[in-house]
Amino acid sequence: MAPGVLEKPAEEQQGGDLHMTNAADDSCVDRLTLLRSMPEPPVECQVCVVGAGPAGLMLACNLGRFGVKVEVVDDRADQTPVGRADGLQPKTIETFRQMRLADPLLQRGVRVYDIAFWRSTTDEPLHRLGREIHYPPIIDVLDPYILLVHQGMVESLFIEDLKKRGVEVRRNTAFDSYSVCDGNNGPLQVNCLANVTQDRKTILTQYLVGCDGAHSKVRKSIPDAKPIGLSQPSLWGVLDGELDTDFPDIWSKTLVYSQEHGSILIIPRERNMTRFYIELKSSTKGDRNMLGQEFVMQRAREIMAPFSVKWKYIEWFGRYQIGQRVANRFQDPHTRAFLAGDASHTHSPKAAQGMNTSMHDAWNIGWKLNFAARGLAKPALLESYEQERRKIALDLVNFDYEHANQIAGGDAVALAENFKTNVRFISGIGAEYGENAINMVEPQSWVMGDAKPGCLLPPAKVTRYLDSNPVDVQLDIPMLGQFRIYLLMWDVHQSRIFLDGFCAALNSPDSLMNQLSAAANISYAKQPRLPAPEDIYLRPERYTAVSHLFTFGLITTMPKSEIEITDLPALFQDSRWTFYLDDIPELDTRGQLCTNKWLGSLGPGEVAIVNVRPDGYVGSIGRWDSSVDDAGEEAAKWLDTYYDRFLQVPPSPAMD
């Protein structure tokens, strides 16, 4: 029997073949020999991340957890102390839950459930126009609110997690340039300048990701990568501080519009603070250096009159000009260097999208780089990053252009309508990807439920068989860089022939999934995931017992009393922690069974497979009639076809 899907893996580990540069191969080798013989040898890694903001740290945190050798450089002496981005959308909260990092943010942050609209004109004093629920029930999420925490708190969470795994950010280290060998057989050479002495530092890496902000030097180093878009003339001030005010809606997200003086967007914040985004109307033609904190505070008082606004203290003040720009490319021609976050797209901060979108850029590319570094990825996998995330960036700036104009215009009705139209996208669950190598849409559409290729897996409540715990199935399996393969059926006994055929086909030496699984198990044995003390509670071995590449889940509506673990094939006995009973629709966000929510309907003899990518997006969905001969074998071949689109068995052991 070939080592693979059904065989328990060795301990964990691995790397990937280094590629690279722009001269002849011999000169590339000579240069590497010279570099390694220097008094201070270069640092070597698999992925170099430039920038330790939310995008860069999200990426590094995931790569570290996956076991990829990552280096993070940042030109700042320390993390963000105050201010800057502050709002986490429902999908981002779900992502932090999947990473088991949400609790500190949920404990410290402020939850905003509604939005209020106020207006004054030359004829009418300031008055409330109305209130709206921020995320109405049409949005199917576990956390229907914005969570307000400042950027530094998010960065701290990632930095602490990295330290637990032995990874530190290299501070006071500025990216300068990188070079690529045309032969693609050596590492990228990343050149940095460190400290005030501008010491030259060299990093040899397989991949480079620029998360270094709107003025990204990595972007400027990628041929033909340019930000495309426009700046708007309006100027806005930002104030974070604790208020003393008689304004009644200070703890709601609130838009206040003064026909004479401009707009304020009010955002409640942690530690009893409030953020004001203040339009500096009719002031942009003057000297912007005169538009300091006192001027902006006075403008806020004018807009909020007749209500009193005083500050007990100001923690942070800033100014910005709105601009919507998207880089014309998110990666270099060799798919070795990438852009994420503000390096690839910029927009106004008032829709609370920037930090969220940036971190999801990193969430998207992190698992793909893991497979690439381990030699398991075909080129199509890394190419899908630009296809998916540039689409989201374009969707974002188009929405943001309208949203920012309507905030400035104070048209509450138009703003509310625009918000309703875009509420799925704003929440994060509407960030949907098109068909590509990793999102496979069947010619005969099986998509009748809410689970769809290219979309996030909808939330659903099920009972975990082993301990009868009610769980959120989309959160229950930790994010370990694996694909999740869910099989759904009404009756396991009735589908047993299907399951036996399915498992036998997966375990065949000819099965691509078997071969991929064996290669991944060898890789993780050589280069394991970086552990943290919390792993003793997480127990990753529960979810890697079968394969480091795939976790199999079985979901059935059968009563627990009618089935035992020993009734399952060996594959699913080994996957006992992901055996679920679909029996608690009353706990679901929509009051539905998981089976019905995901699939729309499922026939009594049908078996459905929902393939879920490591970032929580659905990759493919298939259905089979379990009474048909060889249906289980056909399902296994279908999985092989899907994974053959973007994964490969390395021709030789990956990086030592």
Query: Distance between CA atoms of 225 and 620, rounded to whole angstroms?
Result: 32
Question: What is the percentage of the chain residues whose pLDDT exceeds 90?
Answer: 69
Check whether residue 537 and residue 629 sit in a common domain.
yes
pLDDT tens digits, one per residue of 329-364: 999 999 999 999 999 998 876 667 889 999 999 999
Mean pLDDT check: name the lowest of 38-47, 49-58, 609-618, 641-650. Answer: 38-47
Given a contact cutoff of 8 angstroms between Cβ atoms, the answer to whether 369 and 357 are in contact is no
pLDDT tens digits, one per residue of 206-245: 999 999 998 999 999 998 899 888 777 678 899 999 999 9
Check whether residue 398 and residue 521 sit in a common domain.
no
Does 178 map to a domain?
A: yes
159-166's contacts with Cβ under 8 Å and 24+ in sequence apart are 159/52, 159/57, 159/79, 161/61, 161/64, 161/65, 161/101, 161/532, 162/57, 162/60, 162/61, 162/64, 162/72, 164/532, 164/533, 164/534, 165/64, 165/65, 165/530, 165/531, 165/532, 166/530
Number of domains, the chain: 2
pLDDT tens digits, one per residue of 286-324: 555 677 899 999 999 999 999 999 999 999 998 887 678
For residue 281, the model assigns a pLDDT of 66
Does 119 map to a domain?
A: no
Burial, 350: exposed, middle or buried (Cβ in 10 Å; 0-12, 13-18, 19+)?
A: buried
Name the average pLDDT for the chain: 88
pLDDT tens digits, one per residue of 489-511: 999 999 999 999 999 999 999 99
Degrees to nearest 5, angle at CA 187 with 330 and 206? 50
CATH code of residue 462: 3.40.30.20
Check whether residue 508 and residue 559 sit in a common domain.
yes
CATH code of residue 54: 3.50.50.60
Give the range of the structural domain holding residue 165, as residue numbers without chain letter: 41-107+149-225+323-425
Q: Looking at the predicted structure, is the pLDDT value of residue 269 above 70?
A: yes
For residue 7, the model assigns a pLDDT of 44
Query: Distance between CA atoms of 401 and 232, rounded to whole angstroms?
Result: 9
Instruction: Tell which wins on pLDDT, 134 or 284.
Output: 134
490-494's contacts with Cβ under 8 Å and 24+ in sequence apart are 490/556, 490/557, 490/558, 490/595, 490/602, 490/604, 490/606, 491/556, 491/557, 491/558, 491/604, 492/554, 492/556, 492/558, 492/563, 492/567, 492/568, 493/558, 493/562, 493/563, 493/567, 494/604, 494/605, 494/626
Check whether residue 518 and residue 632 sit in a common domain.
yes
Query: Distance between CA atoms of 125 and 305, rounded to whole angstroms?
Result: 9
Check whether residue 387 and residue 526 sit in a common domain.
no
Check whether residue 492 and residue 377 sit in a common domain.
no
For residue 418, the model assigns a pLDDT of 74
Check whether residue 462 and residue 405 sit in a common domain.
no
Q: Looking at the predicted structure, is the pLDDT value of residue 14 above 70?
A: no
Structure tokens at 503: 């498992």
Q: Looking at the predicted structure, is the pLDDT value of residue 512 above 70?
A: yes
Query: Distance between CA atoms of 183 and 177, rounded to whole angstroms?
Result: 19
Does 282 map to a domain?
A: no
Q: 537 pLDDT band (50/70/90 cuts)? A: confident
Question: What is the percentage of the chain residues whose pLDDT exceeds 70?
Answer: 88
Check whether residue 585 and residue 492 sit in a common domain.
yes
Check whether residue 350 and residue 413 sit in a common domain.
yes
